[in-house]
Amino acid sequence: MSDLVAVWEVPLPDKVHRIEFEHGTTTGKRILKLDGQDIVRRDWMFKLVGSELFDIKGDDHQVLAKCEILINASTGFTYEYSLFVNGKQLKKFKEIQSKVMCIWIVEVNNTMFRVALEKETLDIWVNGSKAESNHEFADEGTEMHFLIDGQHKAVVKTISSGNKKEGIVYSLIVNDKEITEGLV
164 pLDDT exceeds 80? no
DSSP for residue 13? S
Domain end position, chosen among 58, 86, 114? 86
Question: By percentage, how much of the chain surpasses pLDDT 70?
Answer: 97
Measured between alpha carbons, how far is 66 from 133 in angstroms, rounded to an integer?
27
Residues 74 and 130 in one domain: no
Residues 51 and 118 in one domain: no
Q: What is the pTM of this model?
A: 0.78
What is the residue range of 38's domain? 4-86
Sheet holding 88-89, edge to edge: 50-57, 63-73, 79-85, 88-89
Residue 92 lies in a domain: no
Residue 107 lies in a domain: yes
The pLDDT value given to residue 66 = 97
The count of domains in the chain is: 2
Residues 81 and 30 in one domain: yes
Residues 107 and 171 in one domain: yes
Domain end position, chosen among 86, 117, 134? 86
In degrees and rounded to multiples of 5, residue 139 shows phi and psi of -60, -45
pLDDT in tens, 88-140: 999 999 999 888 999 999 999 899 999 999 998 899 999 988 899 998 988 88
Residue 36 lies in a domain: yes
Residues 80 and 133 in one domain: no
Measured between alpha carbons, how far is 180 from 30 in angstroms, rounded to an integer?
41
Residues 62 and 119 in one domain: no
Average pLDDT over every residue of 28-57: 88
In one-letter notation, the amino acid at residue 119 is K
- End-to-end Cα distance, the chain: 33
The kind and range of the H/E element at 93 are helix 90-100
The CATH number of residue 153's host domain is 2.40.128.180
Residues 68 and 112 in one domain: no
Residue 126, beta-bridge partner list: 115, 129
Average pLDDT over every residue of 154-170: 84
Residues 56 and 107 in one domain: no
Residue 108 lies in a domain: yes
Domain end position, chosen among 53, 86, 119? 86
Residue 184 lies in a domain: no
Residues 79 and 125 in one domain: no
SS3 state of residue 147:
strand
* Residue 150's pLDDT band (cuts 50, 70, 90): confident
